[in-house]
Amino acid sequence: MAGATYPHILLVVPRLNIGGAESYVATTAVALARRGYQVTVASWGGQLAARLKDEGIRHYLVPIRLNSYLASWWLYYIIKKHNISLVHANSAAAGAAALKACRRLNIPLVYTAHGVFGYNRQEMELVHVDKIICVSNFVRQRSLAIGIPPERLVTIYNGIDLTKFVPQPERTLLVRREYGLQATDFVLGIVSRIKNLKAKGHEDMLQLLAKYSGRQTPNWRLLVVGKGKGEVELKREAKRRGLGDKICFAGHQTDVPQIMQAMDVVVLPSDFETFGLVLAEAMAMGKPVITYAVGGTPEAIEDGVTGYLVPKGDIDVLYERINRLYTDPQLRNRMGQNGITRVRKMFDSEKMMEQIIAVYDELLPVKPTSNV
């Protein structure tokens, strides 16, 4: 609307590297800015900060996890300097720092719960924010179970930018060549921060490839996307188990849609997920997905339609489901197309933004108005 005056939103997250909360913040910031909102982001930086800069979004370096007290006062300064109307925090550390600043200035605070509450005192303080966005009904039910009032909770699924996640099958071979992968390879992709070997299922994939080796997985390759503290150990374990020729390490990638184009199937055998944003991203790219049935993953995918849910830790069933897709290219294609349809229906970032803005409007005393 020409001449409209929009509120100034401050988004807070510990870092801006690849991850569910980080991608969520970047997507939200860009979408708000394109709608005319004033947007500022506070974090300790990371690769996604460059995307914000390209969009002309102001970014402040704030030590969210290093020093909560200092972070709180720095956020206070940012809020005062830019006349921030509302703060939207992501992660317990960001929420705790923002809560102190918002209380001092009496402005609303929205907190997106990418995880579940109740692990420590800091997280429990966040029950006092003005509104809690749950990324899945699983998170909402867990929040209700510890006594958070239902009127303070709203479920809004993570959204995918469908202008960015666009299948380009004609580029598959070109992307594969960049990583030494062949046209005839059956490429499994795991896209995640490598915190350790267990959290996102890297260890389980090593076990699977070691157990089902040789003729059972003749041309299978695992494309590992991401970095983290567990990367060195993962490479060491892959070498120790004789899987050097089976695994390709792509490191950190900011263009996730591009590298997903090289994959036939995306796997996420995580120990726990509140939703699993990468599952929706993979479906948007037309890739079948296979994940353990933990936390909110049954809300992300439709078992037997867009991919498969596997009992947690069951390597044999995990192999059987992957092998089913390996031996049936038509099934892969059908599930991929079903995934695209599901994302467009349920996980479009446009729908997510409409719901997020509705939360903002509920808390803000002044709505966007026209100067014309």
DSSP 249-266: EEE--S-HHHHHTT-SEE
E runs forming strands in 178-226? 186-191, 220-225
Q: For the chain, how big is the Rg over CA atoms in Å?
A: 21
Contact 342, 325 (CB under 8 A): no
Separation CA 258–CA 33 (nearest Å): 24
Within the chain, which residue ranges are assigned CATH 3.40.50.2000? 4-159+348-370, 169-346
Element (H, E) at 300: helix 297-300
Confidence of residue 121 (pLDDT cuts 50, 70, 90): low
Q: How does residue 116 score in pLDDT terms, banded at 50, 70 and 90?
A: confident
3-state SS, residue 24? helix
Q: How confident is the model at residue 4 (pLDDT cuts 50, 70, 90)?
A: low
Residue with tokens 């994939």: 205
Give yes or no for a contact between 295 and 273, defined as CB atoms under 8 angstroms apart.
Answer: yes
How far is Cα 290 from Cα 287, in angstroms, rounded to an integer?
Answer: 10
pLDDT of residue 2: 46
CB burial of 32-45 (b: ≥16 within 10 Å; e: otherwise) equals bbeeebbbbbbbbe
pLDDT, tens digit, 9 for 90 and up, residues 188-230: 999 998 999 999 999 999 999 999 998 899 999 999 999 999 9
pLDDT at position 118 over 80: no
Helices and strands in the chain, H and E counts: 15, 15
Tokens at residue 266, please? 């995306």
Of 327, 320, 289, 291, nearest to 305 by C-alpha is 289
The count of residues in the chain is: 372
Using DSSP, state whether 106 is helix, strand or coil.
coil
Cα separation, 270 vs 221, whole angstroms: 19
Gap between the Cα atoms of 146 and 115, Å rounded = 14
Q: Which helix H or strand E contains 17, and what residues bound it?
A: none
pLDDT single digits (tens) 236-256: 999 999 998 999 999 988 899
Q: If you classify domain 4-159+348-370 with CATH, what class do you get?
A: alpha beta
Averaged pLDDT score across all residues of the chain:
93
Which residue carries 């006594």 as its tokens? 147
Q: Span 288-300, mean pLDDT?
A: 97
**pLDDT score of 66 more than 50:** yes
Tokens 């997507």 — which residue?
A: 27
From CA 357, how far away is CA 308, in angstroms rounded? 33
From the centroid of its chain, how far is CA 276? 6
pLDDT over 90 (residue 305): yes
pLDDT at 115: 85
- Is CATH 3.40.50.2000 the classification given to domain 169-346? yes
Q: How many CB atoms lie within 10 A of CB 360?
A: 21
Confidence of residue 288 (pLDDT cuts 50, 70, 90): very high
The whole-angstrom distance between residue 104's C-alpha and the CA centroid of its chain comes to 31
